[in-house]
Amino acid sequence: MLDGRTTLSKFLIDTLDRSPSPVQASGLSALLIDVAASIKTISAQLTKGALGGNYGSASSINTHGEEQKKLDIATNEIFLQHCEWDGLLAGMVSEEMNNVYTIPPGYPRGEYLLAFDPLDGSSNIDINGVVGSIFSVLRISGDAKTDTAIHDAFLRPGHEQVAAGYAVYGPSTMLVISVGNGTHGFTLDREVGNFVLTHSDIRIPEDTCEFAINASNERFWEPPVRRYVQECKDGRSGCRERDFNMRWIASMVAEVHRILMRGGVFMYPRDFKTPAMQGRLRLLYEAGPMSFLVEQAGGMSITGRDRILDVLPRALHERVPVILGSKNEVERIARYHADYDRGEDKPFTSPLFNTRSLFLPEAPV
């Protein structure tokens, strides 16, 4: 397929509807077109900015105890309205809803499940920063149509996803998707209203000199993460012998999009700021779909110790630590966690930056 000439509809027809491969699934292309329609509507709303009347707090709290923005609620409703009616879905799960949204009785129930974060990075809205949407699609058996069966069908590992993707709302709106045959990027042509293939078969470089992490939480990190970040900060004067750049946008979509475009590592590791919390990002509709996209692009995604796509969720809104991106760097971080768990981790010290004092006793000769 040719970049700049293939629309999303043509791509899905050629990839799914005309393909004899196991990735073929009846109705999946139509569902993804509905998701794309949701993203177009959200993009139009965001383009209006403060003129759209949806800026500011909604004076409500979501299921995670976080303050909701008006746009969190509005974008969630957009997904529901675009995707509930066509008989393709049995249920939906969202960051903004406590429980599974089962398809209303007036509409037929289909064979797919949709999990989504309607507006990732919504704290950036008030500063006109980059935000996005994330989604994941699972398939269920034909007889799993009761509310309980639909709920339980969501609790499956990420490697069972049949499609995943995200939208990034920046200077242009991009939709990045995978149906199991690589990761592909589409740019919204606002003049005609179509998503057009612009980045086919995206590949993440295996090596990188960029990492993204919220450094304000450093005192709460586990030793393997502190070790890795310190080595990066020491740059060419340390054991890595090359300089690294640090990035942090506070939007998972924006961070992962940069990694897909030019490589890098994104880390939202386990920390002990809230000891009872295993991680910060939601498995079903943040970590899972992003890990699917990253692996399809040749990258790697782990909790620190385990492959994220093999983690079995125990609850709809379960959180996990996330470390993903360029393969060689993620493998190094995994190795540091393994060293630490075996008790073989050696605290990193740099002779150049060791603490010195005139009052320290002289080491014996």
Q: Which pairing describes strands 210-212 and 265-268: parallel, antiparallel, or unpaired? A: parallel
Task: Calculate what percentage of the chain has a pLDDT beyond 70.
Answer: 87
Q: Is the pLDDT of residue 352 over 80?
A: no
Q: Is the pLDDT of residue 324 over 60?
A: yes
Spatial separation of the C-alpha atoms in residues 316 and 182, rounded to whole Å: 27
54 pLDDT tier (thresholds 50, 70, 90): low
- Sequence ranges of the domains in the chain: 8-199, 210-346
Average pLDDT over residues 68-97: 93
Provide the pLDDT for residue 353: 45
Provide the pLDDT for residue 356: 45
Average pLDDT over residues 221-247: 96
Token output for 198: 């612009």
CATH 2.60.130.10 is held by the domain 210-346: no
Spatial separation of the C-alpha atoms in residues 2 and 200, rounded to whole Å: 8
Average pLDDT over residues 11-32: 78
Spatial separation of the C-alpha atoms in residues 134 and 116, rounded to whole Å: 5
The dihedral built from the CA positions of residue 289, 311, 225 and 239, taken in this order, carries a sign that is negative
Spatial separation of the C-alpha atoms in residues 320 and 312, rounded to whole Å: 11
Nearest CA to 134 among 160, 169, 88, 171?
169
Candidate from 82-86, 172-176, 250-254, 360-364 with smallest mean pLDDT: 360-364
Pick among 3.40.50.2020, 3.40.50.720, 3.30.540.10, 2.60.120.10: CATH of 8-199 = 3.30.540.10
Q: Enumerate residues 6+ apart whose C-beta is below 8 A from 355.
A: none
Mean pLDDT value across the chain:
89
Dump pLDDT digits (tens) for 256-274.
Answer: 999 999 999 999 999 998 8
3 state DSSP class of 355: coil
Q: Is the pLDDT of residue 55 over 80?
A: no
Looking at per-residue pLDDT, the higher value among 47 and 41 belongs to 41
> Which one-letter amino acid corresponds to residue 338?
A
Q: Is the pLDDT of residue 215 over 50?
A: yes
What are the CA-CA distances from residue 333 to residues 73, 140, 145, 256 (Å)?
37, 35, 42, 17
Provide the pLDDT for residue 365: 39
Nearest CA to 120 among 233, 260, 343, 289?
289
Candidate from 63-77, 215-229, 245-259 with smallest mean pLDDT: 63-77
Q: Is the pLDDT of residue 22 over 50?
A: no
Q: Is the pLDDT of residue 355 over 70?
A: no
Dump pLDDT digits (tens) for 113-127.
Answer: 999 999 999 888 888
Provide the pLDDT for residue 345: 78
Provide the pLDDT for residue 139: 94
Average pLDDT over residues 305-329: 97
Dump pLDDT digits (tens) for 87-100.
Answer: 999 999 999 999 99
Determine contact, residues 300/265, Cβ cutoff 8 Å: no
